[in-house]
Amino acid sequence: MNQHSLITTLKSLRGNPRGTVYTEPIWGIPYNLYAPYVSIYMLALGLSDKQIGLIVSVSWGFQIFLALLSGVITDKLGRRRTTLIFDILSWSVPALVSALAQNFWYFLAAGVINSLWRVTHNSWTCLVVEDADPGQLVDIYTWIYIANIIVGFIAPLAAIFIGAFSLVPTMRGLYIFAAFMFTLKAILTYRMTEETRQGVVRMHETRHQGVFDILGEYRGVLNTLLHSPRTLYTAGILLVLGISSMISGSFWAIIVTEKLHVPARNLAYFPFVKSAIMLVFFFVVMPRIAKMHFKVPLVLGFLGYVLSQVLLVTAPVQGYFSLIISVFLEAVCFATVSPLVDQMVALSIEPKERARIQSIMYMGTILITSPFGWIAGTLSELNKSLPFILNIILFGVGAVLATLAGRASQKRPSAEALQA
């Protein structure tokens, strides 16, 4: 009996891909336990909606600055050491602060410190991809998504604990558990990986350079980025996904409850169903897609997203059938698009400047995405469907960018062409 290709890939992982993929659930388990209840935990300790919004805004402000610095830090300290230090700083420390929180200032401090995840996101991405087999990248990212989907199914356990011990004590306990698990994950990842070849080169090149000297070189890095059509198209796709994710995450529940009049108690079923669909799709369909050039599945994925949003905005009151089909399409399209885009990011960036190019891309994405929360909120006040009409436009742009990126990659006959 032939073994499933994803299982074969998981067993065959060695080196840094093994160390990063195998440890991912250790982060996902505690995060999925406390994440759904963070806002109501803050409210229970006396914070207002306005204060919660301020914490988010301040955190985003710090993320812009840290996204820019992430390339410098990753190059100077190395991918492996940066990931260890900033995993603990950005996740373990804020979890402990939140566990002890008494008022607004505790949560503000936790939010600011948590912004450091922008640094470890850059270094961890380099650690995953730089020495990996390019042919395994889609499977590697697929397993990362699978890991986070599977651990997401344990989230209802938190509701059981809250029912038994009440909200605040449960959240304090979950945050302490999270701090321990985040630290364990950081240490295990460090022990199971080694510095990448490019990381060693960049550490040597930057060891006598100051931070501002390295930042001064960003002009040349930006020029490289601007003259790389593949990377620009990929950055555009990341931007489309970032904005649409923000809109859906903030306003999906609003349109479903206030326009479609679906009872709030039924909302919890949809993420569960979505996760189950994605899990099946990853195992059944994604291995076949991974063997294809990214262009066709990516374009079809964005067109599927368009259809899902059309079904959402045209659904009748309590139109469960349209809503379920919309959720099904979103799940399938996410499972198709996300690993392919991650592969595109990995393969379209100039390897010698990966850390700094990623830092510029992440900073630009944050800067451009930030206003869309307010824009979508304004649109939603006018009409609950308008944010999702904006999504339809964005996904249409994504399909065009995927087409252009596919043409750009197919013009390159070298092995660097963006193929699975």
CATH of the domain at 102: 1.20.1250.20
Half-sphere exposure of 212 (CA within 13 A, CB side): 0
User: How much is the pLDDT for 108?
Assistant: 95
Supply angle C-alpha 313, 249, 126, rounded to 5. 130
User: Are residues 285 and 400 part of one domain?
Assistant: yes
Q: Is residue 418 part of a domain?
A: no
420 assigned to some structural domain: no
Name 257's Cβ contacts closer than 8 Å, sequence gap at least 6: 263, 264, 267
Q: What is the model's pLDDT at position 265?
A: 66
Is residue 249 domain-shared with residue 175, that is, in the same domain? no
Claim to verify: residue 207 and residue 242 sit in the same structural domain:
no
311, 345: one domain: yes
Q: Are residues 71 and 147 in the same domain?
A: yes
User: Average model confidence (pLDDT) for the chain?
Assistant: 87
**Does residue 42 lie within any of the structural domains?**
yes
Percent of the chain with pLDDT over 90: 41
Measured between alpha carbons, how far is 75 from 130 in angstroms, rounded to an integer?
13
Q: Does a structural domain hold residue 146?
A: yes
Q: What is the pLDDT of residue 364?
A: 85
Q: Is 63 found in the same domain as 187?
A: yes
Q: Are residues 262 and 208 in the same domain?
A: no
The predicted pLDDT at position 419 comes to: 42
Tens of pLDDT, residue by residue over 40-83, are: 888 889 988 788 878 877 888 898 889 889 989 999 999 999 99
Confidence check: pLDDT of 418 > 80: no
In a domain, 419, yes or no: no
DSSP letters of 274-287? HHHHHHHHHHHTHH
What is the pLDDT confidence band of residue 1, given thresholds at 50, 70 and 90?
Answer: low
Shared domain for 192 and 43, answered yes or no, is yes
Instruction: Compute the average pLDDT of residues 2-22.
Output: 86
Q: Which of 166, 200, 216 is the last residue of a domain?
A: 216
Q: Structural domain tally of the chain?
A: 2
The verdict on 193 and 227 lying in the same domain is no
Residues spanned by the domain of 260:
217-413
- Residue 302 pLDDT > 90: yes
Angle at 38 (CA atoms; ends 262, 339), nearest 5 degrees:
75
pLDDT at 305 over 50: yes
The pLDDT assigned to 51 comes to: 86
pLDDT above 80 for 2? no
pLDDT on residue 127: 93
- Structural domain ending residue among the three candidates 188, 216, 244: 216
pLDDT above 50 for 420: no
- In this structure, are 211 and 235 located in the same domain? no
Q: pLDDT tens for residues 202-225?
A: 999 888 888 777 777 777 778 877
Residue 186 and residue 227 share a domain: no
User: Which own/partner contact pairs does 33-38 have at CB distance under 8 Å and 24+ positions apart?
Assistant: 33/154, 33/155, 33/157, 33/158, 33/174, 33/177, 33/178, 34/158, 34/171, 34/174, 34/175, 34/178, 35/155, 36/155, 36/158, 37/158, 37/162, 37/167, 37/171, 38/98
pLDDT over threshold 90, residue 7: no
Are 168 and 221 members of one domain?
A: no
Instruction: With respect to residue 250, please indicate whether it lies within any of the assigned structural domains.
Output: yes
Q: Which of 216, 251, 270 is the last residue of a domain?
A: 216
